Structure 1
């Protein structure tokens, strides 16, 4: 895939996910939350030049650092989501203002990593963006699922 198509895929996923996260939605803890991140990772890892062959060490450090900060932002994002239980017992979630700020922060960090790569003359393909986005979504969903299970645990403890 070309860098432009990688960026277009990333933008489409971001618009879809952010739009969904800022609306109240029933939380389905049985959903395969890992499927979209897996697809993004597979598409990204098919890129033969994920690591710049002319600057292997610097490129590997940039990708690793980027993925580490992305995982951190996924945790932050997962903790900014409001989760509650309705009277019928169903779990619901909705992104908050902090969720929007977490997205802005994640995008700014992504820009900083690209800026660092540009300053070091390291080529960073769009597939790194897809890989980061997949990790961000995976960590965020795992954090929300964990929080939802904690809420279920509190409910069961109160009933006992």
Structure 2
């Protein structure tokens, strides 16, 4: 049953992450960008079946490869994501078509790893996939925060920046007492 729950959790996280990342969003470098990947890693590592008891070496190699794929995919996804600063100083991000290619390539490699494991006879638990996803998200978020912090994010001192609603007539209402 835990495998099904993990699989559903993985699918839910992937759907939420992909949908959110392909829309322009402001990056908040001060928030806990590492929290979701750490939670996923803890959930993955608490499962006893992350390594196959009968094929420890092979499953450890597959897990290591999964983690390397996660590192590469996270870095490639972060570097194919567009990052820019708006005139008001807010840093924005949006994944690109190249980011979608990175996702499809990463999924294809992971399917290949599962196929190799099946051919070798290694029982692979969904916790290995979840751990790889956690690494992907952690690396991507870390690189994006680093990229966002390296951009000029604040307007020059004393400069007036326009905000939504500037120049619009203001309607004030008096409350009767």
TM-score, normalised via structure 2 length: 0.84
Gaps of 5+ in 2: 157-177
Q: Residue by residue, what CA displacement relative to the aligned partner does 1:53-102 show, whole Å, maximum 9, x if unpaired?
A: 00000010110011012101100000011000101011000111111111
Check conservation: 2:81, 2:96, Cα contact below 8 A: yes
> Which aligned segments of 4 or more residues in structure 1 are displaced greater than 3 angstroms?
none
Check conservation: 2:66, 2:129, Cα contact below 8 A: no
Check conservation: 2:59, 2:122, Cα contact below 8 A: yes
Alignment of 1:96-111 (within 5 A): 96-111=96-111
The Cα RMSD (Å) is 1.5
Check conservation: 1:83, 1:93, Cα contact below 8 A: yes
- Residue 7 of structure 1, CA deviation: 1.0
Higher helix share: 1
Alignment of 1:83-102 (within 5 A): 83-102=83-102
Check conservation: 1:6, 1:129, Cα contact below 8 A: no
- Residue 4 of structure 1, CA deviation: 1.5
TM-score, normalised via structure 1 length: 0.92
The structure number with the bigger radius of gyration is 2
- Residue 104 of structure 1, CA deviation: 0.9
Cα distance in 2 between the residues matched to 1:103 and 1:142: 18
Instruction: Please name the residue that 1:36 is paired with.
Output: 36
Number of residues paired by the alignment?
A: 155
Instruction: Please name the residue that 2:75 is paired with.
Output: 75
- Could you say which structure has the greater relative contact order, defined with CA pairs below 8 angstroms and 6 or more residues apart? 1
